[in-house]
Amino acid sequence: MNNHSTHIDDLARRTLEENWVAIFIVAYNAERHIEEVLKRIPSWIAERFAEIFVIDDHSSDNTVAVAEKVE
C-alpha cells in the first residue's frame, strides 16, 4: 500500500471512530446490481457505520427484496 492510500485509510478509520456516519444508496430498478454494490463496501467500514440506507425510488423490480437479503 502506498503512502497516499495509507493516509486515506487512516483518515477514514478516524472519521468512522469519531463521528456518527451513514451511507445512503439511491436505487431504482437496481435488482441486478444492488447486491454487488452493497458487498463492495469493505467489512471494516460497514461494521463501523451507524446505518446503511438503501433508498428505493419506487422500483418496479425486486430491488428492495434483494437489498434486504444482503448481509
In a domain, 65, yes or no: yes
In a domain, 12, yes or no: no
Give the per-residue pLDDT at 6: 83
Cell 471512530 identifies what position?
17
In a domain, 7, yes or no: no
Number of domains composing the chain: 1
pTM strictly above 0.85: no
Encode pLDDT of 3-43 as tens digits.
777 888 888 888 878 888 888 999 999 999 999 999 998 88
- By C-alpha distance, which of 11, 9, 22 is closest to 48? 22
Full residue range of the structural domain in which residue 45 is found: 20-69
Give the per-residue pLDDT at 1: 56
Q: Is the pLDDT of residue 53 over 60?
A: yes
23 in helix, strand or coil?
A: strand
Residues 51 and 22 sit within 8 Å (Cβ to Cβ)? yes
Alpha carbons 29 and 56: distance in angstroms, whole number: 8
Question: Cell numbers at residue 23, please?
Answer: 451511507
In a domain, 36, yes or no: yes
Q: Is the pLDDT of residue 52 over 80?
A: yes
In a domain, 30, yes or no: yes
In a domain, 3, yes or no: no
